[in-house]
Amino acid sequence: MSYVVAISNEKGGVAKTTTTLSLGAALTEAGQKVLVVDLDPQANLTLALGVEPGSAAVTSSHILIESAPLMSARLATEIEHLDLIPSHASIESAEQFLPVRTHYTSGLKRAIDNASPLPYDYILFDCPPFLGAITTNALSAADLLIIPTQAEYFSAYALRNMMGVIRRVRQESNPGLGYRILVTLLDRRNRTHRNIQEQLQNTFGEGLFKTVIEVDTKLRESPIAGLPITRYKPSARGSLQYRELAQELMEYVKEKDQQTA
């Protein structure tokens, strides 16, 4: 069975797309087969993997709005064992079309179920920076929600809304949804960053990944090159930290599997 991870935060600029891309690539280095799904109308993940938005005949928009088969939208990338379902601006119309439909929150889950067994160990959803019908679909299909957050006041404050969304999704569609918070763009020289990271640790405890993603200019450059950081600069700090995150995620999944066995 594929393990499904949604990467979401209503706050923009917290490295959601960077995390989807970099974590996906790091997982493939660890021998995993990964499908990354771009659900953002801005299609930044699609661009970061060297695909021009609008060039693909089938996108995530077709899956959500027209119930197209999941694998009909799959594209191979230059990274071995990493496939992409691209996005297009048209997916934004899902916010109007989906809520008037019955069981509209389960579209992505049905797409995955109908395509199973899938040839992937992990499916990663890159969600848009708003908590609407698209994100709810992703959370309803996910085993785990990763919430990237900066160690800054507004980003940490946005976690309140994310916790509310998790409770609602658990009640309405996905009682087994787990979550982990990932601190990103951390500057250890910044006292405020250090203080907020400590507050997050005290508040969420094991709900926080041990791995932290620090500020790294190479992480900003890699999407321009159309490559994940692990390929663009394999020895960069960002590469090492996303590899650590991949290992921590795999350990988490292994523990969960053992608990349910």
User: What is the per-residue pLDDT across 140-188, written as a single tens digit (0 to 9) for each?
Assistant: 999 999 999 988 888 888 898 899 999 999 999 999 999 999 999 999 8
Q: Is the pLDDT of residue 225 over 90?
A: no
Q: At what angle do helices 133-141 and 107-115 cross, to 10 degrees?
A: 40
Q: Confirm whether pTM is higher than 0.85.
A: yes
34-38 vs 82-85, strand pairing mode: parallel
Q: What is the pLDDT of residue 1?
A: 86
Q: What is the pLDDT of residue 258?
A: 84
Torsion sign over Cα 134, 172, 106, 33: positive
Q: What is the pLDDT of residue 254?
A: 94
The arithmetic mean of pLDDT across residues 193-207, rounded, is 91
User: What is the per-residue pLDDT across 93-128, written as a single tens digit (0 to 9) for each?
Assistant: 999 989 888 888 999 999 999 999 999 999 999 999
In what side-by-side order are the strands of the sheet with 178-184? 75-76, 82-85, 34-38, 122-126, 3-7, 144-150, 178-184
Q: Where are the domains of the chain?
A: 3-260
Q: Is the pLDDT of residue 73 over 90?
A: yes
Give residue 61's pLDDT band: very low, low, confident or very high (50, 70, 90): very high
Show Cβ contacts of residue 141 under 8 Å, excluding neighbours closer than 6 positions.
4, 6, 106, 108, 109, 112, 125, 174
For residues 182 and 151, what is the distance between their CA atoms, to the nearest angstrom?
10
Domain 3-260 in CATH 3.40.50.300: yes
SS3 (DSSP) at 145: strand
Q: What is the pLDDT of residue 227?
A: 85
